[in-house]
Structure 1
Amino acid sequence: MTFHTTPNHLESDLLEQLVSKPTGNERVEDKLNKLLTIMREHLGMNVAFISQFVDGKRVFRFIDSNNNSAAINVGDSDPLEETYCKKIVDRNLDSIILDTHENNITRNLTVTEKLSIGSYMGAPIRLSSGEVYGTFCCYKESADSTLNERDFAFLQAACEITSVLIEKNITSEKFRDVCSKRIQSVLNTEKHVIYYQPVFNLQTQGVVGYESLSRFFTDPYRTPDVWFDEASKLRLGVELEVSAIEKALKGLEYLNSSHYIAVNTSPETILSGHLEKVLANVDAKRVVLEITEHSPVQDYEALREALDPLRKKGALLAIDDAGAGYASFQHVLELQADIIKLDLSLTQNIHSQPRKFLLAKALCAFAKSINCRVIAEGVETKAELNSLKELAVDSVQGFLLGRPSPIEDVLNIS
């Protein structure tokens, strides 16, 4: 960023770092609050704030004070025409006011006494379109004759950074709004359909259950993982998962009573408590909860407690996507899983890749030692199936045995 004003080099470097220094997942809001603190402390002010002009009012959006006891709060507002902010933007008031009680305009404004403003400095925040978003201002309870044009140049530089950050935030909010509406548009609608993939028991050579899989029929088409990942980022992940599980479990009434339905769920959804309500009027003995190996678990004890009432009702727990690392073993042991599902990345070409075969063999031995069943998914060839039989896995699923299908097709096959 190139500043159009001339703060000194030290000040410029300080502001440049705020914009360019890598800050990981730091939010725009955090950066703006940090910027306010920098400005207030550097200028020796009591309060610094960023305001927005909305519907004829000046609304405080961000505030920083030296004692956290400012007479204003985020969200407070005043009629725009009665504020310093509006008068500064309209150039009816100087940007630097050394003593508000000596100024012909500010000494007569109610806000001067209301906020105990002794000296003041403010500048407009203009977006790239030229629109005035609001102002960046700071004030002191006492008069200050030391404020000067160099200080104002520093404030203007801060305004430029603020404009960039706010514009970025506005763009992000618009994007989040679009994505949120997209997620909401498929919840509990025909656009979100459940398909069922059969799981075959190798000993009986018959179907023992079905894994439920979401399909989204939208234009443009997007794969299920994209939908769920986006929903999770927007904090709609639990809502979308619960919707999918509710849809999936409706299939129980159409299937053979000896068949189960496996549903995919995340630790977040389990911890939310929603599943207990979903399973309230369902035969939980016909439900398998699949937790992916890749789902992070922050607190195993809390997750076990949330799972306890579901498992007491008869629901089984499966660790999905096993085979990619240590988490497989940790999830299984910590959660006392009933089923381990070998990931398709492990089962594909298992017949021709000795390392995969040995890893699967180790997982199967591990499962047997703790009385867990093993299901291998992603089986696409007879050679793969034969290798899995050699490993004595309990059940298999994959395109070789049956593709995911809507419930109508499943019933026709059955």
Structure 2
Amino acid sequence: MRPSQAPKNGHSFSHLVQDALGALRRHLGMEVAFISEFRHGRRFFRYVDSDAAFSPIQVGGSNPLDESYCLRVVDGRLPQLIPDALQNAEALSLPVTRLLPVGAHISVPIQLLDGEVFGTFCCFSRTADLSLDDRDLAVVRLFAEFVGGTVAQAFRQRKNLKAAYQRVQHAIAQEDFHIAYQPIIHVGESRLVGHEALARFTAEPLRSPDKWFHEAAEVGLQEELELAAIRKALENLHRFPAPTYLSLNISPETILKGGLPAVLAGYPLDRLVLELTEHESIDDYAALVAALAPLRQRGLRVAVDDAGAGYASFRHILKLAPDIIKLDASLVATIDKDQGMRALAAAVVRFAEETGSKVVAEGVERPEELQVLRDLKVNKAQGYLLGRPRRAEDLEFPG
């Protein structure tokens, strides 16, 4: 999601705000109701509801904050309730009071949780209304607390998304990450068969790679970050002895965007594996299969990650017919102690034998786990017991 986009529930939320503004305006007999945001010395109109015959302001419009009633209400120069602006000296000091004109006016500050003023919740009419009293002001304050608080939260979320977008974009532009390569071993023959490329970030804030990729997906930069990591991983393919392969993590969404073939151009596809990272059901398996088909025809292999961790991974296996099925680390961690996990792993191995897939166990950390995997005829594995992820320049190969 780009930072300029509203949250997924933004459409229904906007309707809620508009309905609230309209209800309040009609209840008070006013002509205009709006929510403003204070920013950079200006007042921005974020939500507006007006009488059809009088629409002096529009959503997205702005004017100088120091020329507004709003600022004077917030700093105390004007009261929150003004039944007749022409009877208030401070209001008369503002040209807008006579130009519009402004008659009755109610304005309540909207505050964030930390006490910072977000803006105001306002209503006004061109004619005075001496019937307005503290009960009407209390209603506006209630609406301001209910709707205004939610508005402030929504805009704070948008602000956070913008900051996240800039953070991920900077990490991509500056390549604030490196690639670590974890060996994949044929345990029966004690032979290296490949490496999995794993991104490691050096940018602030320091956090796990999955959080970086999750944030990139939230702000619409998933494809850019994933392809940047793949490009960087491929730079070291020449260091690895043939015919060992390199496994590259990628989401189905990035594959469907169509930019992957250009990134892989010029590399030997028969030495590459695409490891799908999606843990949820995929909406359009047919489109994904079609996108992968030309690459697979030229030797590229596909792996499904996290088998045994949930229903989605088994669905991927059935729909995509992967070349490699990777047993999830959570399954491997208890495989020597839990009969159920051992039976599940055995079922995956049997399925792989029937379909021609190969099985790779992830997260192998103890000799006991490795022994059970050998007993189950899982010949390929990776994990700290067999080799930690290391930079390409730190890898050593026999011969």
Deviations 1:228-268 (CA, angstroms, capped at 9, x unpaired): 33444444443332222111111212222322110111223
Question: Per-residue deviation at 1:154?
Answer: 0.9
What is the aligned counterpart of 2:239 among 219, 231, 254?
Answer: 254
- Are 2:307 and 1:322 aligned? yes
CA distance in 1, matches of 2:265, 2:100: 58
Are the structure 2 counterparts of residues 41 and 137 from structure 1 closer, same or farther at C-alpha, using a change threshold of 3 Å?
A: same
Deviations 1:251-305 (CA, angstroms, capped at 9, x unpaired): 2122223221101112232233332332233322222111136244233233334
- Are 2:45 and 1:60 aligned? yes
Question: Per-residue deviation at 1:197?
Answer: 1.5
Question: Per-residue deviation at 1:322?
Answer: 0.4
Q: What's 1:212 paired with? A: 197
Amino acid at match of 1:135: T
What is the aligned counterpart of 2:22 among 40, 54, 60?
Answer: 40
What is the aligned counterpart of 1:346 among 311, 331, 337?
Answer: 331
Q: Which runs of 5+ in 2 are unaligned?
A: 1-6
Question: Per-residue deviation at 1:341?
Answer: 0.6
Q: What's 1:13 paired with? A: none
Q: 8 Å contact 2:121–2:148 — kept in the other structure?
A: no
TM-score by length of 2: 0.78
CA distance in 2, matches of 1:285, 1:73: 59
CA distance in 2, matches of 1:215, 1:259: 22
Question: Per-residue deviation at 1:373?
Answer: 1.6
Judge which range, 176-185 or 42-51, deviates more: 176-185
Are the structure 2 counterparts of residues 88 and 30 from structure 1 closer, same or farther at C-alpha, using a change threshold of 3 Å?
A: farther
Question: Per-residue deviation at 1:194?
Answer: 1.0
Q: What's 2:81 paired with? A: 95
Are the structure 2 counterparts of residues 276 and 110 from structure 1 closer, same or farther at C-alpha, using a change threshold of 3 Å?
A: farther
- Are 2:393 and 1:408 aligned? yes
What is the aligned counterpart of 1:152 among 134, 137, 150?
Answer: 137
Deviations 1:25-56 (CA, angstroms, capped at 9, x unpaired): 98699657634522421441564211133445
Deviations 1:314-367 (CA, angstroms, capped at 9, x unpaired): 322111110123222211112222211111222235344332221111111112
Q: 8 Å contact 2:111–2:149 — kept in the other structure?
A: no
Q: What's 1:8 paired with? A: none
Q: 8 Å contact 2:185–2:380 — kept in the other structure?
A: yes
Query: Within 5 A, what are the aligned runs for 1:190-201?
Result: 191-201=176-186
- Are 2:256 and 1:274 aligned? no
CA distance in 2, matches of 1:227, 1:26: 20
Deviations 1:353-393 (CA, angstroms, capped at 9, x unpaired): 33222111111111222222211222334443343233233
Judge which range, 325-334 or 158-167, deviates more: 158-167
CA distance in 1, matches of 2:395, 2:322: 28
Q: 8 Å contact 2:100–2:126 — kept in the other structure?
A: no
Aligned length: 384
Identity of aligned residues (%): 40
Q: What's 1:21 paired with? A: none
Q: 8 Å contact 1:201–1:207 — kept in the other structure?
A: yes
Amino acid at match of 1:255: F
Are the structure 2 counterparts of residues 250 and 174 from structure 1 closer, same or farther at C-alpha, using a change threshold of 3 Å?
A: same
Query: Within 5 A, what are the aligned runs for 1:125-274?
Result: 125=110, 133-139=118-124, 147-161=132-146, 164-165=149-150, 168=153, 172=157, 176=161, 179-180=164-165, 182-187=167-172, 189=174, 191-201=176-186, 205-217=190-202, 221-274=206-259
Are the structure 2 counterparts of residues 405 and 138 from structure 1 closer, same or farther at C-alpha, using a change threshold of 3 Å?
A: same
CA distance in 2, matches of 1:129, 1:27: 24
Q: 8 Å contact 1:33–1:63 — kept in the other structure?
A: no
Amino acid at match of 1:299: D
Are the structure 2 counterparts of residues 26 and 238 from structure 1 closer, same or farther at C-alpha, using a change threshold of 3 Å?
A: closer
CA distance in 2, matches of 1:99, 1:246: 65
| Aligned residues: CA RMSD | 4.0
CA distance in 2, matches of 1:164, 1:74: 19
CA distance in 2, matches of 1:127, 1:353: 50
Q: What's 1:51 paired with? A: 36
Q: What's 1:288 paired with? A: 273
Q: What's 2:369 paired with? A: 384
- Are 2:283 and 1:301 aligned? no
Q: 8 Å contact 1:320–1:343 — kept in the other structure?
A: yes
Are the structure 2 counterparts of residues 175 and 47 from structure 1 closer, same or farther at C-alpha, using a change threshold of 3 Å?
A: same
Q: 8 Å contact 1:121–1:138 — kept in the other structure?
A: yes
Are the structure 2 counterparts of residues 306 and 95 from structure 1 closer, same or farther at C-alpha, using a change threshold of 3 Å?
A: farther
Question: Per-residue deviation at 1:215?
Answer: 2.2
Are the structure 2 counterparts of residues 154 and 200 from structure 1 closer, same or farther at C-alpha, using a change threshold of 3 Å?
A: same
